[in-house]
Amino acid sequence: MSNAQEVDLENLGKRTMEELKKNPFKISGGISANSVFYNSNVYNGRAPFTYFLNGNLNLGLYKWTMPVSYSFTNQGSQLGYQVPFKFNRISIAPKYKWIKAYIGDANMAFSPYTFNGLLFTGAGVELTPDIPLKVALMTGRLNKAVEDDGNPSTIPAYRRMGYGAHIRWEKEKYKLGLIGFYAKDDVSSLSVAPDAKGVLPQENLVLSLTGSFMIDKNLEVYGEYANSALVEDLRASSNSAVKKGIASKFLASNSSLQSYSAYNGGVNLKLKKGMIGVRYERIDPGYRTLGAYYFNNDLENITLNAAFTFWKDKLALSGNVGRQRDNLDGQKFKQTSRWVGAVNANLKASDKLMITASYSNFTMFTNRQLNQFNTINNNPLLIQQPKDSIDYKQISQNTNFNVNYMLSGTKEKVQNININYSLNDMVSRENGIVRKGGLSRFHNANINYTLGFPEKKMNIGTSFNYTHTFAASQTSAIWGPAVTVTKAFLKEDKLKTSFGTSYNHSGSRTAHINVTSFRLGANYIPWKKHSFDMNFIQMFRNSNQPVENPNVSEMTCTVGYNYSF
């Protein structure tokens, strides 16, 4: 036993010395600085000069890594009003083996129903050890306090703090997760309550349970249930407060307390040459979480999806079809339902020819009463009268077709042609009749031809675009060509230049607009880790109606520097 311990200690010391002899410190990263100069004879709302400074620094010490990123700009100072978020940001994310931290301005994601990519200023940590237990935690400021200064564009906000935890237990055949997210506004962070703009101090607690199970090696079942308790106004009294749902049990009684639920579940079956799955999702009307920027609610989705490959994987087909409806609680005056379907195909006919096609169909329909008093009075005789109701159906179809063909590919010359066509068609019917303005159709077609001379380090690209629109009983068309030439100079292509010009004409029954633009670009790499960029765009727009559409001369110049190490 003693000899074995001595051998182990000797090997441990040897391995430690070998590790110490290695270069312990490593550093890498990059810096980019860009400035934008803008001038126009018409538009004055845009700043004439804007700068952006971005960078990242990766520090390493043995098995430790610590990325640092930052972003600074003068863009926010030129708004003339205040917003509750930051334009200038700095973030540090140190990592050691299975431990990763977030410090400063960061974002993390737990699930779509709880905390999902919201930027916060604070700290977070992710622990992913080589055991089934995984943990993620966050705490920080979600909104900074912004007083209502009277400017109609200012977005007032209470100071909001947030806290979250995501605990997962992951095994080979199943995964379970528990999520908790809590956010609360500081009522005392503002001297004057901005009630006139609809901004109220709020509190939110979201609890979620997630899981997935491998019933068979090819059959998976998954799902998530989330309950969100939201206090609409922290100043509301506790009288007549009603607590519903699991999350509300952990909050103080408040008459503005609301409870919402969201859940989804599905089954995926893997086959030899594809997969097939079905998914169900339901989100209560009004569902919200303070841990996300935007959220769809009041919907129920049932979706069937499938994907397969054929002909030695040269042809790939995928598609889905589903049914969606709203007004889940029956409180809206009307209910809307729609069928959703899509098909995608990718064919690699040969090494030179690639064809892709897609089609999607969205059919929305509703049946509602025109006379609201029928519902109020609950007169069944009036409700049954066809003249007092409307059968509304809207069908939207999207078709896209793309062909890419390589004409030649030699050392002296490379030629390629790409053709694309898309169609968007939308029809609205009321009681089976398409009324004036109920039809819109959008056609777009473009052809691109590129000619390259690899030995001369030169490429020429040409294109022609055509768009035809019929909407609101009006027809308009836009068409025009474009040419771009790129050329590399000096050894190792240290200088790359480009020149391009385009013209398009927009015409309708009443207006005609011509737009001409010229573009110059250059990228210069004097040394291995340094590069300079310059892009210049000059645009001229002329109209036969200078009052409604004034003639415009607009210049935009971007100058940038990049350094990597």
pLDDT digits (tens, 9 = 90+) for 289-310: 999 987 789 989 999 999 999 9
Domain ranges of the chain: 79-268
- In residues, how long is the chain? 565
Lowest pLDDT segment from 38-47, 242-251, 549-558: 38-47
CA–CA–CA angle 452, 454, 455 (5° rounding): 130
Q: Helix (H, G, I), strand (E, B), or coil: what is residue 539?
A: strand
Residue 339, pLDDT > 80, answer: yes
pTM of the model: 0.74
Report residue 372's pLDDT band, with 50, 70 and 90 as the boundaries. Answer: very low
Dmax (CA) for the chain in angstroms is 99
Q: What is the mean pLDDT of residues 92-111?
A: 90
Q: Containing H/E element for 377?
A: helix 372-377
Report residue 415's pLDDT band, with 50, 70 and 90 as the boundaries. Answer: very high
DSSP E strands: which ranges in 74-171? 89-92, 95-96, 99-109, 116-127, 133-143, 159-170
Residue 392, pLDDT > 70, answer: no
Whole-angstrom Cα distance, residue 282 to residue 298? 8
Lowest pLDDT segment from 13-27, 74-88, 550-564: 13-27
Lowest pLDDT segment from 19-33, 133-147, 323-337: 19-33
Residue 11, pLDDT > 90, answer: no
Residue 83, pLDDT > 70, answer: no
Please, what sign has the CA dihedral across residues 430, 434, 440, 445?
A: positive
DSSP secondary structure code for residue 302 in this structure: E
Residue 531, pLDDT > 90, answer: yes
Specify the pairing of strand 552-564 against strand 99-109: unpaired
Instruction: Please give the share of the chain, as a percent, with pLDDT higher than 70.
Output: 85
Instruction: Please give the share of the chain, as a percent, with pLDDT higher than 90.
Output: 58
Report residue 20's pLDDT band, with 50, 70 and 90 as the boundaries. Answer: low
Lowest pLDDT segment from 45-59, 148-162, 334-348, 446-460: 45-59
Whole-angstrom Cα distance, residue 179 to residue 434? 49
